Chain A
Amino acid sequence: MEHKEQKDQVSAQRVWQPKVIAFVCNWCTYAGADLAGTSRIKYDANIRVIRLPCTGRIDPLFVIKAFEQGADGVLVSGCHPGDCHYNTGNYHARRRWTLFRELLEFVGIDLRRVQFAWVSAAEGAKWAEVVNEMVQHVRELGPFEGYHVMLARSGRDAWLEKAAAGGGNGSGKGVAGGTPAVQKAE
């Protein structure tokens, strides 16, 4: 995987940049982010959006996996209560996240790394704010050393080096021991 090596070199040279992964619903937040685009509202580039139909589709597993991929922060965002395209998906999601975030807090994860937002299709500006705020928080917290060290001890040697070098961006590989599905399908 040549691109990976290239990327690693680049990230080693650069100063650390937060890696924030966002899981958003298609109908509100994704559209809101589109609106931020059409309105040309600028925001921090350290965010990568994964589009899902509904916040109800977002599984806590996604958040864990994002951290395993070296994310320094995870953002979950969808339609405001009452606005869900699927009527009640976000209500169920809200219960799920109410519990999950308290669990993460209980095991020592700073909740500024896991944030939740309601961003409607009309709230392009709010999306930009939410992203900027999130990235800013993560910047203040620095790389998610705790998780990175755990990953490194789990066999991802590259992590330790990168953490030391100040590079945080993940590569396209699964956690050692886990099935690197990316390669498997090829």
Chain B
Amino acid sequence: MYLKRDEVLKRGKVGLVVKGCDARAVTGLIQESQVARERLVLIGMACDGVGEPLLDMCKHCDVHTPAGPGADAHRLACDYVSGKATVADAKPEDEGWLDDVRKIEALMPPERWAFWQEKLSRCIRCYACRQVCPLCYCKRCLVEKNEPQWISSSAHEAGNFAWNIIRAMHLAGRCIGCGACERACPQDIPLTLLNKKMAESVARHFKYRAGYDPTAAPAVKAFDKADENDFFR
């Protein structure tokens, strides 16, 4: 998110060292015109995963080695790539990354409601999740807008609920699943669950996964006449 800062951009080309997952974030920013590819020198680093124990997202990573020069147009090609990952990429059919989402989905609606009421009630509205998110780049976040103030800025339950729902909605089809929000959350709210759920919905309905193809139209600003229509009366 530093990439967007004026003081950085003013200096001309920016060299950026990226892991595969970072490259997905950069892809998202390019798709949304937040940064021009020409202004970046991307140095890709192969990565076997980080964290002790290994982060959940790394277990299901399918971009251990960033794409390098000569990659097809539907991948963000780094200018240089260093090394090669020793672990295999997750397969597209690997649904392991959704295990925790499925667990919640298996609950009865009142249990899900209770689960989220408890989790979200802890929110102190520090907005660390937003600050750390590579795709939350708005100059003025919705919660900072008044007249009208759609989302109460107080850290009460109704406000927290609205904030977290809308945050997930705003990241739907955009979140690249880095998990930074959840790691930054001082209250241990399982934020990635919401994001993953949205990523799963987007993939299922619109056959789209965020942060892979810099030339693709993000799912929520595209449409297909044949999109699912069954839930409409």
User: Do A and B touch directly, given a CB cutoff of 8 Å in the complex?
Assistant: yes
Residues of chain A having any CB pair with chain B under 8 Å: 60-61, 64-65, 68, 81-82, 88, 91-92, 94-110, 115-118, 126, 130, 133, 146-147, 150-151, 153-156, 175-179, 181, 184
Contact in complex: B112, A68 (CB < 8 Å): no
**Residue of A105, A118, A155 touching B156 (CB-CB under 8 A):** A155
Residues of B within 8 A of A133 (CB): 233
Q: Does B146 contact A (CB under 8 A)?
A: yes
A-B contact pairs, 15 of them (CB 8 A): A82-B225, A92-B223, A95-B206, A95-B220, A98-B201, A102-B201, A105-B109, A106-B197, A108-B117, A116-B232, A146-B113, A150-B157, A177-B159, A179-B148, A181-B149
**Residue of A106, A116, A150 touching B231 (CB-CB under 8 A):** A116
**Residue of A81, A82, A154 touching B159 (CB-CB under 8 A):** A154
Q: Does B219 contact A (CB under 8 A)?
A: yes
Q: Does B205 contact A (CB under 8 A)?
A: yes
Contact in complex: B165, A99 (CB < 8 Å): no
Contact in complex: B220, A99 (CB < 8 Å): yes
Q: Which residue of the partner chain A has the closest CB to B116? A: A107
Contact in complex: A96, B225 (CB < 8 Å): no
> Interface SS of chain A: helix, strand, loop or mixed?
helix
Residues of A within 8 A of B228 (CB): 94, 98
Contact in complex: B232, A179 (CB < 8 Å): no
The answer for the CA separation of A88 and B222 in the assembled complex, in Å, is: 10
Q: Does B111 contact A (CB under 8 A)?
A: yes
Q: Which residue of the partner chain B has the closest CB to A105? A: B109
Chain B: interface residue total (CB-CB under 8 A): 56
Residues of A within 8 A of B206 (CB): 95
Given contacts A64-B162, A117-B233, 8 further A-B contacts (CB under 8 A): A64-B151, A82-B225, A95-B227, A99-B205, A107-B161, A175-B159, A176-B154, A179-B146
**Residue of B101, B113, B220 touching A107 (CB-CB under 8 A):** B113
The answer for the CA separation of A116 and B157 in the assembled complex, in Å, is: 27
The answer for the CA separation of A179 and B151 in the assembled complex, in Å, is: 9
Contact in complex: A177, B169 (CB < 8 Å): no
Contact in complex: B173, A68 (CB < 8 Å): no
The answer for the CA separation of A161 and B167 in the assembled complex, in Å, is: 31
3 closest Cβ pairs, A-B complex: A108-B113, A177-B154, A108-B112
Q: Which residues from 116 to 134 on chain B have a C-beta closer than 8 Å to any C-beta of chain A?
A: 116-117, 121
Residues of A within 8 A of B150 (CB): 61, 64-65
- Nearest CB of chain A from residue B147's CB, rounded to whole Å: 7
**Residue of B147, B197, B198, B202 touching A181 (CB-CB under 8 A):** B147
- Nearest CB of chain A from residue B214's CB, rounded to whole Å: 21
- Nearest CB of chain A from residue B184's CB, rounded to whole Å: 21
The answer for the CA separation of A99 and B117 in the assembled complex, in Å, is: 20
Q: Does B110 contact A (CB under 8 A)?
A: yes
Residues of A within 8 A of B153 (CB): 177
Contact in complex: A178, B159 (CB < 8 Å): yes
Given contacts A92-B223, A99-B169, A175-B152, A150 and B232 within 8 Å (CB-CB): no
- Nearest CB of chain A from residue B9's CB, rounded to whole Å: 31
Q: Interface 1/0s, chain B 160-173, versus A by CB < 8 A?
A: 01100110110011
Given contacts A81-B225, A178-B149, A151 and B158 within 8 Å (CB-CB): yes
Residues of B within 8 A of A98 (CB): 201, 205, 227-228, 231
Q: Does B194 contact A (CB under 8 A)?
A: yes
The answer for the CA separation of A184 and B117 in the assembled complex, in Å, is: 30
- Nearest CB of chain B from residue A109's CB, rounded to whole Å: 7
Contact in complex: A150, B117 (CB < 8 Å): yes
Residues of B within 8 A of A184 (CB): 147
- Nearest CB of chain B from residue A30's CB, rounded to whole Å: 16
Q: Which residues from 183 to 205 on chain B have a C-beta closer than 8 Å to any C-beta of chain A?
A: 194, 197-198, 201-202, 205
